[in-house]
Amino acid sequence: MDDFPAVRRLLNVEGAAVFLVALASYVSLGGPWWLLVVLALAPDLSMVGYLVGERVGAAAYNAVHTYVGPLVLGAVGVWGDHRLALLVALVWAGHVGADRAVGYGLKYATGFGDTHLDRV
C-alpha cells in the first residue's frame, strides 16, 4: 500500500495550520501590516544560493525553510520580551507553513524541483 499521498496531504494540512496560527497570532499581537508584507517572502531570498550551484542553493534554502529558525527566534522573543523578534518569527514560521501547505518542501541537491514532499 502506498501511503505517500496520504502522508503528503497530512504535511500539507500541517503547514496550513501553522500558517493560519502564525498569521492569527501576528494579528492578535497587533503586528504592523507593512512588516508582514516586507518579511513575507524574505526567506525566499535564500534561493540566490542556486546561483552558486545546486548543493549551495539547497543548503541555503533548507536553512531558512525549516521551523528551527523561527522557533529559536520566537523563544528569544518570548523569553527575552522582544516583541519584534516574536513578530518576525511568526512571519517566518507562517512562510514555511504556507510553503508546506502548497507542496513546497525541503530541497535535495539534485535539483530545485526535487523536494521531500514531491517534485515541483
User: Is 120 part of any domain?
Assistant: no
User: Is 58 part of any domain?
Assistant: yes
What's the mean pLDDT when you consider all of the chain?
A: 94
Cα separation, 57 vs 68, whole angstroms: 18
- Does the global pTM surpass 0.85? yes
User: Is 59 part of any domain?
Assistant: yes
- What total number of domains does the chain contain? 1
Residue 25 domain boundaries = 4-115
User: Is 64 part of any domain?
Assistant: yes
Note the pLDDT tens digit of each residue in 4-38. 788 889 999 999 999 999 999 999 999 999 999 99
Cα separation, 12 vs 18, whole angstroms: 10
C-beta atoms surrounding 31 within 10 Å? 20
Cα separation, 93 vs 21, whole angstroms: 9
User: Is 18 part of any domain?
Assistant: yes
